[in-house]
Amino acid sequence: MKRFGLIVLTASLVALAGCHSFKKENIQPPTPLDKNFKPTVQTTQVWKIRVGHGAGESGVRMEPTVVGGVLYAASTDGVIGAYDAATGKTIWENKTRVKGWFGWGDKKRKDAFYSGGPAVSGDLLVIGTLNGHVYGLNVKDGSQRWDSTLPSEVIDSPTVAGALTIVRTQDGRVYGLDSNTGERRWVNDQGNVPLLSLRGNGPLLVANGVVFFGSDDGKLTALRLDNGDKLWEQKLASGEGRTDIERMNDADGTVLLDGSTLYASAYHGNLTAIDGPSGRPLWQRPFSTYTSLAISGNSLFGANIDSQVWAFDKSSGADMWKNENLKYRWVTAPAVQGDYVVVGDIEGYVHWLQVGDGALAGRQRLSKKAIRAEPVVAGDLVYVEDVQGHVAAYRLGGK
């Protein structure tokens, strides 16, 4: 099962960031930041809070979500809450005491090892756990509506699509759960999951009655939303190489949809544009990444496995620019805030790069802990969370 696979570029690098043992571990140290850097855009930290202890050493990306002016966030140590997205003030927060892997405390929740982050739709909040539970909660107060038990970890956010909630587990299965009760409506089993794999799954994309996701064997798969049947799949990576590590080809990033075109990428694989209805490739170019892409205007943005930030023409895949200033800083997936690309890094810094040419434009430090989750842009703010649960909101310009 994937839970016994290799955890790379996740918890191991977070630990290295804390003890500064890059040389001992034969891993490239982060490129030093320019001490004489002069920002060309003003960035302001609007507020900062802490939600439990974040992802801790779990190796998962705990990403908040913002819906209707409310930020929802959770931690692997049993904290989940709703916060005013403009001020950071607590609306409600539930804390479940846990001890040991199986946990104890709240009798209604068999564990509280929340993971991935919450999904919100209407009055329903859904979140998975490292022990294979999926909880449906009320968005107004966090009270429990239902609990569904699955046979493996859920380490990424579920997706609520009307009457169905779609959940992916670490053993390669995708489930369609009833959004009102949590009951299973269908399951799609992708078969064998590679024993050696990156720790992570890309978020599920649901559009036009289809569920899209990248698999651990380097494929983009499309399923019917109503029953989970496979419609098509497309290779994003070949899985070739001399060693097991070289053959790792996880597609762990978010699948983007722009019009009828899908964009997806894979570790040791390619950045690929695909016609959504047919699954036919439109163009493909080598690009190895373990994070998600972002899109704005005519550009695609991504960070490769060396943490070089790239921009590509979305119509052809041609290079537009590359920034090497953050190389080996193990940056997050990019987000786009106005005219800037935003990434976090392993030392707790948040960086703003110009959309047009990739030049570094701004810098803030959230904490001294690694940032692994993709920044979340909502309105005029970008929200960033580190591995210890510190969450901050930043605005371009002054207060």
Question: What pLDDT, on the 0 to 100 scale, is given for residue 33?
Answer: 97
> Which residues, 6 or more positions from 99, have their beta carbon under 8 angstroms from its beta carbon?
105
Residue 300, pLDDT > 60, answer: yes
Residue 250, pLDDT > 70, answer: no
Residue 104, pLDDT > 50, answer: no
What's the pLDDT band for 246 if we cut at 50, 70, 90? low
Across the range 279-297, mean pLDDT stands at: 91
Tokens of 104: 């104890």
What's the pLDDT band for 241 if we cut at 50, 70, 90? low
82-117 burial code (b ≥16 CB/10 A, e <16): bbebeebeebeebebebeeeebeebeebbbbbbbbb
Alpha-carbon distance of 351 to 361, in angstroms, equals 8
Across the range 363-376, mean pLDDT stands at: 96
What's the pLDDT band for 249 if we cut at 50, 70, 90? low
Question: What pLDDT, on the 0 to 100 scale, is given for residue 234?
Answer: 85
Kindly state the helix (H) or strand (E) to which residue 92 belongs, with its residue range: strand 90-95
Tokens of 317: 């895949």
Question: What pLDDT, on the 0 to 100 scale, is given for residue 269?
Answer: 77
Question: What pLDDT, on the 0 to 100 scale, is given for residue 133?
Answer: 93
Q: Report residue 281: phi and psi, to 5°.
A: -65, 135
What's the pLDDT band for 199 if we cut at 50, 70, 90? low
Which one has a higher pLDDT value, 243 or 225?
Answer: 225
Question: What pLDDT, on the 0 to 100 scale, is given for residue 1?
Answer: 39
Across the range 211-236, mean pLDDT stands at: 87
Alpha-carbon distance of 6 to 112, in angstroms, equals 24
pTM for the model: 0.89
Percent of the chain with pLDDT over 90: 66
What's the pLDDT band for 19 if we cut at 50, 70, 90? very low
Across the range 356-382, mean pLDDT stands at: 97
> Which residues, 6 or more positions from 7, have their beta carbon under 8 angstroms from its beta carbon?
59, 198, 199
Question: What pLDDT, on the 0 to 100 scale, is given for residue 203?
Answer: 79
Alpha-carbon distance of 291 to 334, in angstroms, equals 9
Mapping DSSP onto H, E and C, the string for 116-173 reads: EEEEEECCEEEEEECCCEEEEEECCCCCEEEEEECCCCCCCCCEEECCEEEEECCCCE
Percent of the chain with pLDDT over 70: 81
Across the range 79-101, mean pLDDT stands at: 86
Q: State whether residue 260 is helix, strand or coil.
A: coil
Which one has a higher pLDDT value, 214 or 278?
Answer: 278
Question: What pLDDT, on the 0 to 100 scale, is given for residue 155?
Answer: 85
Across the range 182-187, mean pLDDT stands at: 97
Alpha-carbon distance of 311 to 300, in angstroms, equals 6
Residue keyed to tokens 């399951």: 187
What's the pLDDT band for 225 if we cut at 50, 70, 90? very high
The mean pLDDT of the chain is 86
What's the pLDDT band for 147 if we cut at 50, 70, 90? very high
Across the range 32-36, mean pLDDT stands at: 95
Tokens of 318: 């041609």
Question: What pLDDT, on the 0 to 100 scale, is given for residue 43?
Answer: 98
